[in-house]
Amino acid sequence: MKAYVLKRAAQAFVVLWLAYTLAFFLLNILPGDAALARMGDTGLAPEQIEQIRISLGLDKPLAVRYGEQIVSLLQGDFGSSYRDRQPVLKVVMAALPKTFAIAVPAILLGLIGGVALAIVANWVKKPWLRNFFNALPSVGVSIPTFWIGILFIMLFAFKLGWSPAFGSSDWRTLILPVIVLAIEPAAVIGQVLSASLGQVMRGPYAFAALCRGNSRLRVVLVHGLKNAFIPTLTITGVLAGGLLTGAVVTETVFNRAGLGRVILESVKNADLPVVQGVVVVAAVIFVIVNLLIDLSYPLLDPRIRQEGRRG
């Protein structure tokens, strides 16, 4: 188990390094000048702009800046915003709870909805009804999140008045963003789990359980879920770690303060340290979630523990 944990931790470190490196070089080769973005259109002379570049360290070669930032990052220093000179970590951490407020309930709601959809799809006996429920996840995945958000705003906020459309003033403003953000995870989880359950239900032990007089629903719940849930757990970890990206789109549609607004403002102002900080924090969350998922496998499946002992 110790070797398993060390191996996963090493892989997590490599993922973090690759995420930061990719973000650093991609952001630095994009067009735009952070010095000009910081000062705005003020008609500064080229010499003044160059002085700003020097003060921000943008005059150094790209490889030197990368090395310096890696060293600072290992020391817990994410740098300062080019725009307002605030510490990057302070900017990101101030916005993170507001994003978590919709991302965490959304993944939980998506998990519940996806599991329920998969159970119903494998419980019903009529083939046409089963095909209908199995087709729903494809619809949920194919419809863009921003389009669903706009539709929900028009219907539930403007027409029916059930919930506020924009802002983050109280808990009611969370309802629509959470539901919208949960649709895609629910669709993906439902699709994966339904396929796994279908395979399990075609197995000999499921057939034997049915022959012993167990209802189809009992076989699905007792035998099917236990054996089909590990692939679902894997995809849930990936979705949970990547849900911050989905939250950015949802926050923009619903005009919520969070990482979405931070990223939009930082990209507009060529504030590279803040964008890189968001990437690192999102990668850390992704790695932690998936590391916890990986570490739960030996607890759920004894065969993994046995393979670890033999290895």
Summarize pLDDT for 230-288 with one digit per residue, the tens: 778 888 877 877 777 667 778 888 888 788 788 888 877 778 888 888 888 888 888 88
Cβ pair 293, 130 in contact under 8 A: no
Instruction: Give the lowest-confidence range in 32-41, 131-140, 201-210, 218-227.
Output: 32-41
Q: What confidence tens digit (pLDDT) does each residue in 155-195 have? A: 888 888 787 777 666 777 888 889 988 888 898 888 888 88
- Per-residue exposure over 13-50, b if at least 16 CB sit within 10 Å of its own CB, e if not: eebbeebbeebbeebeeeeeebbbbbeeeeeeeeeebe
Of residues 223 and 307, more confidently modeled: 223
d(CA 155, CA 213): 47
Residue 45 in this model has a pLDDT that exceeds 60: yes
9 beta partners: none
Domain locations in the chain?
Answer: 88-310
- Summarised one tens digit per residue, pLDDT across range 97-123 is 888 888 889 989 999 998 898 888 888
Kindly state the DSSP code that residue 161 receives in the 8-state scheme: -
Q: Distances from the Cα of 189 to the Cαs of 203, 221, 229, 244, in angstroms?
A: 21, 16, 10, 17
pLDDT of residue 109: 92
- Which one, of 273, 194, 287, lies nearest residue 237 by Cα? 287
CATH architecture of 88-310: Orthogonal Bundle (1.10)
At 203, the amino acid letter reads: G
Which residues, listed in sequence order, are joined to residue 87 by a DSSP beta bridge? 80
Helix (H), strand (E) counts: the chain: 14, 0
Q: Tell how far CA 22 is from the center of its chain.
A: 18
| Tokens at 306, concatenated | 């046995």
Residue 212 burial (CB count, 10 A): 8
Helix, strand, or coil (residue 87): strand
DSSP 250-309: HHHHTT--SHHHHHHHHHHTT-HHHHHHHHHHHHHHHHHHHHHHHHHHHHH-HHHHHHHH
**pLDDT value of residue 240:** 79
Please provide residue 80's backbone torsions phi and psi, each rounded to the nearest 5 degrees: -125, 150
CA-closest candidate to residue 258, choices 273, 243, 269 = 243
Tell me which residue has tokens 């046995």.
306
Question: Which pair of tokens denotes residue 30?
Answer: 């994009």
Report residue 291 as tokens: 């590391």
- In eight-state DSSP terms, residue 80 is B
CA distance 299 to 114: 23
